[in-house]
Amino acid sequence: MVAKQILERGIRNPAILNAMEEIPRHQFAPYTPARKAYSDGPLPIGQGQTISQPYIVAYMTEILELHPSHKVLEVGTGSGYQTALLAHLVAEVYSIEIVVSHYIRARKVLSKYALHNIHLRLGNGRDGWSEEAPFDRIIVTAASTDAPENLLDQLREGGLMIIPVGPTPFEQKLKIFRKKNGIIARQDDLPVRFVPLIDQSA
């Protein structure tokens, strides 16, 4: 998977490549046979949600420009695969999941590994995690029609957030937000297709 789907498509960060080699993806894909869990595409995890294509996981992680000292907020724990990857790369990971069954399963799977820098919360990801803010990086793993202001407010000066944004699944793009001198700059990136970000308050 790493050699054919990640490295050959231009992901060169050795820390990301090594982490993806170490993490057993099949453990995070409960409805997929182990031999198919490393295929080149998203996989179902229940409740209409998916674990993203390996390349997209690696691509979004590389865009984050992570440093070992970083404190990262992840919106959308899902299966916990992206969470585990982040935990291999940064100091602290705070991850929020709104679907109870996903939260319970991810907590159980992640507890099998010596990843003591992961903090999980059951709740509405659009609210962020204000008492632990600010964050050096924020990654949103489900699509929104906008960039939630609550999340941008929780971004540290010099920080970066990546989120899929679009009115429909066929009009989504990854968007990168950087905070510099208190001002948020936006950059459009790769066209993508993500499941929608669930909002309890809507």
Residue whose structure tokens are 């793009």: 173
Q: Distance (Å, rounded) from C-alpha 17 to C-alpha 37? A: 17
Short-list 85, 21, 22, 19, CA closest to 52: 85
Examine the residue annotation and report whether 52 is marked as an active-site residue of this protein. Answer: yes
Q: Distance (Å, rounded) from C-alpha 76 to C-alpha 102? A: 9
- Annotated catalytic residue: which of 39, 52, 111, 130? 52
Q: Distance (Å, rounded) from C-alpha 30 to C-alpha 26? A: 7
> 65: left (phi > 0), else alpha (psi -120 to 50), else beta?
left
Q: Distance (Å, rounded) from C-alpha 13 to C-alpha 159? A: 20
How much is the CA Rg of the chain, to the nearest whole Å? Answer: 16
Which H/E stretch holds residue 159?
strand 155-165
Burial label, 62 (beta-carbon count in 10 A; 0-12, 13-18, 19+):
middle
Catalytic positions, written as ranges: 52
